[in-house]
Chains A and B, each alone.
Chain A
Amino acid sequence: MKELEEALSTFKGNPHMTIPALQAAQGKLGYLSREAIGDVAQTLGITTGEAYGVVTFYSQFRLKPVGKNIITVCRGTACHTMGSLGILKELEKTMGIHAGETDEKQEFTLQTIACFGACARAPVTVTEELGIPGRKVHGYMTKMKARDLVDGLKEKMTEEAAEAK
């Protein structure tokens, strides 16, 4: 792939740099397509199988395109006890997608995590914007807050679109 050539050039022939090379590719594309994994493997001089094994081992790597906003619902024990399943269901209903999926317009990706490490504020939901560092942790979630969260993000996107025009 043309667009990866530059990002991967520093890793040429260096199989020890598998993870950084995959990160670089994902940074460029937002996810790792089969083609991208093939490119990484070829650049490093490892087999596609080896690269794919690493990709599927680490949860930081994504095999499907993600939306502009990534919403992560914590399903760890503390959050579960505090009703995170309900939060997840509510978000699924509002956005029309299931956990692990991205909507057609590629605006939202919904995913789960096993304990985010902020149990004191359970149930916890985290939002981040693709390509923008940092994420927002929303504690003490309720179903209503979940709906507001999605609405807020939608509004923000409309505003930004208008500004861009």
Chain B
Amino acid sequence: MEAVNIVIDGKNIKARKGSTILEAALENGIDIPHLCYHQHLTSAGVCRMCGVKVKIGDRWLNKTGHAPNTMHVSACTTEVGEGMEIVSDDEELNRSRKLILEFLLAQHKHDCMVCESNGVCELQKYIYQFGIDPKNLRFPGPEYTETVDESSEVIIRDANKCICCGRCVRACHEVSVQKVLNFYGRGGVDDSLPKIGIIAGFDQPLGETDCASCGACIQVCPTGALTEKLSRFQGRSWEFKKVQTTCPYCGVGCQLELSIKDGKLVKASAVEDGPDNQGNICVKGRFGLDYVHHKDRLTTPLIKRNGKFEEATWDQALDLVSSKFRDIKEKYGSDALAGLSSAKCSNEENYLFQKLIRTCFGTNNVDHCARLCHASTVAGLARAFGSGAMTNSIRDFENADVVLITGSNTTEGHPVIGAHLKHLVTCNGLKLIVVDPREIELVKYADIWLRQKNGTDVAWINGMMNVIINEGLYDKEFVESRVEDFDKLENMVAKYTPQKVASITGIPAEKLVAAARLYAKAESGSIIFAMGITQHTTGTDNVLSLANLAMLTGNLGREGTGVNPLRGQSNVQGACDMGALPNVYPGYQKVDDARTREKFQKAWSAELPSQPGLTVVEIMNAAGKGDVKGLYIMGENPMLSDPNLNHVEQAIKNLDFLVVQDVFLTETAQMADVVLPGATSFEKDGTFTNTGRRVQRFRKAVPLAGDSKEDWDILCNLSRKMGHAIDCSSPAGVMEEIASLTPSYGGVHYDRLDGDGLQWPCPTRDHPGTPYLHKDKFARPNGKGLMTAIEYRPPAELPDKEYPMVLSTGRLLQHFHTGSLSRRSMALDRIVKEGYLELNPTDAARLQVADSGWLKVSSRRGDIQVKAKVTDRVAEGSVFLPFHFAEAAANRLTNDALDPVAKIPEFKVSAVKVEKA
């Protein structure tokens, strides 16, 4: 840190260079009063509470240069300078502060008795601190005439409590970048000079605007002007127990602060210094957690008898489960059993689950839904770089000057990363290239948008490399020193001229060239991708192609570069890391490597199978054929998440015995023979690994629901009954075992996880973790990156006469995965109640269907009914369907054709027919 020497109130301080006086003071324990300043927002200098006197040498810093009386400098907007002497606390300054406070209070509806902000309100704090009598103000206040705006499902706005500090406006512009809140007017009283205030949208009720319901404005509001709607009257600030935890939803892994009262989760806010979310969270993290207390929670084990569930004790349930699984194993062999682990469960639980399947069941038939989202990422990146995870960190995009995003609707799938990218574009000059068939929100922020036809990704990536090589824009030094097989790639891409690519992808040649140049010329260029790239029969090819592109331009192994897959669920990275995969043990150590197997046999005192097991879709196929007879599913819902549901349904019905462990009676659990009630992440301890490879704690905050148990506890009990006891007293203990067997987690211990967590690889106790991979060499055995020449192959199913349109599936901001959690959140359900099909206006006109009109959508595999949403987000001939909704299950339609390497199904391209219902 470069330091600047200053003096505040006689105290010598080494201030951080570039910080403001206020920041320097706060960082050194001096509390200069302030209201409009917030650590994550630009300083506006509007409240003047932070007024100080500043002297450099014998010159006073103000307009006159003389000793100030009322001309104070605002500490929040003035940068520290060498030798500054600052007075922050004297009678004169405090007299002005009192004056400001009295002005504010005169217009402020101080009903602290019922105000949700009582106890945390910053205005209240200063009114008290400066001893101001609210009954005895020098200035008469007006009547409180503003109506309270309760139109939003989650936010209450009471303009009568607003002190016009503008923090919410800045949060809405700079943090969530929705720009819904704005200043209005300017201190006047009649129409020609309207009274100052904050407006939502076009001076509308908040609920009618484009508000994303992120609550960033609530987070920063110093008063009770903006408060949570659903937790109103549920508790006062001082009654809450605060627990820091990791968000259970997406892979960003935002740090949340929970407010708990009497064992109930009342509300959540963002942890200001959460390493990857920096004070921001999305609508799901802030308002979508109430499913934990939902009345549908499973509270006791259930056993199905004669087609009906009956309540059972844990002993009855686990006895039945273990004896049934043992019977199947004895009669049909170990491989007639299989397990699906969960990207919603902890690292420790995934570790225990795969250990149980491998030791007690004696099979490698264990997988989880990462197969359905990022198996191709793991396969592709492991081949190219030797490691299958995001190369760089979540906050590292701020070091990039160009980001290329493809197949990721980031603002909905990973909202906090999406908002950060919008922020970097609007405030930091980041250049964005978006390649997506849909006109997603980020297109508005993009310098270049390429709209490719679904499933033509290899072609446009090859085309970009063609341009980059032809124009000599590639990084020759990097390619020579760090990469293999460049010549093969060079030969292959030679034929992918922009013209040829245009004919395959529909991307105009000149746009492709412009995008190629922009990315190649960047000092630091980063690539972000998600399921739009991976969920294809060419998923692995797509990922390998992106890896080629990054290697070609030397955009790896530095800050602000990399190939960055955004992982979907809170712990999908961790579930993979923990070996809930059929071919690897924890840390991607191969099951068919004899030395590795020996190591695990010794550690687990068990004989382990040497053949890799079956993947998710293969397990279902095997069940359909009767080869897999017993299935143990922990925290997954294949009856909604897997492709070609009609087929999945038959497969599951064909099983002899199905056990589902979950927190709700999901579509899959309803088909189970035994249901075991597990725990949500709010009811247990553990760790999640986010998409940025960061291992973070989540913490028990509320008691278990009814007779339910922590999933790790269930696994241990079951293993005991199965005759191969896995002992564990706590998740912390399990992590010790993980660390001892998994080199990349070798230094991960609970006592190290309380701050910012740790980013793997973290091999030893004193290793600080790794913010970006492949610094000087790649993780492949010879240290080099591998380029792969890949030809374009069309998707498995193309539109034809009978099924003329292309369907892709994806996520919405407000919901998550199969909706089993998010649709049981009151707020999220109220904001988006039902699914819909995005349909281009031209197609809508042809079908003569209006917005919200009913449609029948069919494919070769099934059909559904759903309402239309007419929008030009989708191109003519294409439709889009979110997959969260059981009543309009996208996966009745999707194709289960698989990528040959990663076995990921092609969710993003199915041929469908759309008709008026």
Q: Say whether A and B bind each other.
A: yes
List A residues at the B interface (Cβ < 8 Å). 34, 37-38, 45-50, 52-53, 56-59, 62-64, 99-100, 111-112
Query: Could you tell me the dominant secondary structure of chain B's interface residues?
Result: loop
B201 contacts A49, CB within 8 Å?
Answer: yes
- Place the interface of chain B in its size category: 20 to 34
Contact of B182 among A34, A49, A64, A99 (CB under 8 A): A49
Which one of A37, A38, A100 has the highest number of Cβ atoms from chain B below 10 Å of its Cβ?
A: A100
B201 contacts A48, CB within 8 Å?
Answer: yes
A50 contacts B182, CB within 8 Å?
Answer: yes
A56 contacts B179, CB within 8 Å?
Answer: no
A100 contacts B184, CB within 8 Å?
Answer: no
Q: A161: shortest Cβ distance to chain B, in Å?
A: 29
Which one of B191, B192, B194, B199 has the highest number of Cβ atoms from chain A below 10 Å of its Cβ?
A: B192
Known: A53-B183, A56-B185, A57-B185. A48 touches B202 (CB 8 A): yes
Residue of B nearest to A52 (CB): B202
- Tell me, yes or no, whether B114 is within 8 Å of chain A by CB: no
Give chain A residues whose Cβ lies under 8 Å from the Cβ of B190: 99-100, 112
Contact of B192 among A46, A50, A52, A111 (CB under 8 A): A111
Query: Given contacts A49-B201, A57-B183, A100-B190, could you give 8 more A-B pairs where the C-beta distance is less than 8 Å?
Result: A38-B202, A45-B444, A47-B182, A49-B209, A50-B179, A52-B203, A53-B182, A112-B190
Q: B394: shortest Cβ distance to chain A, in Å?
A: 27
- Complex Cα gap A12–B115 (Å): 45
B199 contacts A46, CB within 8 Å?
Answer: no
- Tell me, yes or no, whether B200 is within 8 Å of chain A by CB: yes
A57 contacts B179, CB within 8 Å?
Answer: no
B181 contacts A56, CB within 8 Å?
Answer: no
- Tell me, yes or no, whether B186 is within 8 Å of chain A by CB: yes
Known: A59-B193, A64-B191, A100-B191. A49 touches B186 (CB 8 A): no
Query: Could you tell me the dominant secondary structure of chain A's interface residues?
Result: mixed
Which one of A45, A49, A50, A57 has the highest number of Cβ atoms from chain B below 10 Å of its Cβ?
A: A49
Known: A59-B193, A63-B191, A100-B190. A47 touches B179 (CB 8 A): yes
Contact of B179 among A34, A38, A46, A58 (CB under 8 A): A46
- Complex Cα gap A14–B444 (Å): 13
B186 contacts A57, CB within 8 Å?
Answer: yes
- Complex Cα gap A34–B203 (Å): 11
A52 contacts B184, CB within 8 Å?
Answer: yes
- Tell me, yes or no, whether B210 is within 8 Å of chain A by CB: yes
Binary interface profile of B, 151-191, with partner A (CB < 8 Å = 1, else 0)?
00000000000000000000000000001111111100011
- Complex Cα gap A46–B210 (Å): 13
- Complex Cα gap A98–B180 (Å): 34
A49 contacts B191, CB within 8 Å?
Answer: no
- Complex Cα gap A126–B397 (Å): 57
- Complex Cα gap A45–B179 (Å): 12
- Complex Cα gap A47–B211 (Å): 12
Give chain A residues whose Cβ lies under 8 Å from the Cβ of B182: 47, 49-50, 52-53
A-B contact pairs, 17 of them (CB 8 A): A46-B179, A47-B201, A47-B210, A48-B201, A49-B199, A49-B201, A52-B182, A52-B202, A53-B183, A56-B184, A56-B186, A58-B186, A59-B186, A64-B191, A99-B190, A111-B192, A112-B192
A49 contacts B185, CB within 8 Å?
Answer: no
Give chain A residues whose Cβ lies under 8 Å from the Cβ of B193: 59
Residue of A nearest to B180 (CB): A49
Q: A42: shortest Cβ distance to chain B, in Å?
A: 12
Residue of A nearest to B195 (CB): A56
Give chain B residues whose Cβ lies under 8 Å from the Cβ of A56: 184-186, 194
Interface residues of B in 198-220 (CB under 8 A from A): 199-203, 209-210
Q: B492: shortest Cβ distance to chain A, in Å?
A: 39
Give chain B residues whose Cβ lies under 8 Å from the Cβ of A45: 444
Residue of B nearest to A112 (CB): B192
Give chain A residues whose Cβ lies under 8 Å from the Cβ of B209: 49
Q: B208: shortest Cβ distance to chain A, in Å?
A: 12
Known: A99-B190, A100-B190, A112-B192. A53 touches B199 (CB 8 A): yes
Residue of A nearest to B201 (CB): A49
Residue of B nearest to A61 (CB): B192
Give chain B residues whose Cβ lies under 8 Å from the Cβ of A46: 179
Binary interface profile of B, 116-137, with partner A (CB < 8 Å = 1, else 0)?
0000000000000000000000
- Complex Cα gap A56–B444 (Å): 26
Q: B201: shortest Cβ distance to chain A, in Å?
A: 5
Give chain A residues whose Cβ lies under 8 Å from the Cβ of B199: 49, 52-53
B181 contacts A49, CB within 8 Å?
Answer: yes
Give chain B residues whose Cβ lies under 8 Å from the Cβ of A111: 192
B180 contacts A47, CB within 8 Å?
Answer: yes
- Complex Cα gap A99–B193 (Å): 12
Give chain B residues whose Cβ lies under 8 Å from the Cβ of A34: 202
Give chain B residues whose Cβ lies under 8 Å from the Cβ of A50: 179, 182
Residue of A nearest to B185 (CB): A56
- Complex Cα gap A71–B354 (Å): 83
- Complex Cα gap A46–B180 (Å): 10
Give chain A residues whose Cβ lies under 8 Å from the Cβ of B186: 56-59
- Complex Cα gap A62–B184 (Å): 14
Give chain B residues whose Cβ lies under 8 Å from the Cβ of A62: 192
Residue of B nearest to A99 (CB): B190
Q: B167: shortest Cβ distance to chain A, in Å?
A: 16
- Complex Cα gap A69–B203 (Å): 29
Give chain B residues whose Cβ lies under 8 Å from the Cβ of A59: 186, 192-193
A49 contacts B192, CB within 8 Å?
Answer: no
Residue of B nearest to A113 (CB): B192
Contact of A49 among B194, B202, B444 (CB under 8 A): B202
- Complex Cα gap A34–B193 (Å): 17
- Complex Cα gap A34–B186 (Å): 19
Residue of A nearest to B197 (CB): A56
Q: B432: shortest Cβ distance to chain A, in Å?
A: 15
- Complex Cα gap A107–B193 (Å): 22
Q: A109: shortest Cβ distance to chain B, in Å?
A: 10
- Complex Cα gap A37–B199 (Å): 15
Residue of B nearest to A58 (CB): B186
A53 contacts B184, CB within 8 Å?
Answer: yes
Residue of A nearest to B444 (CB): A45
- Complex Cα gap A40–B808 (Å): 35
Give chain A residues whose Cβ lies under 8 Å from the Cβ of B203: 49, 52
- Complex Cα gap A47–B194 (Å): 20
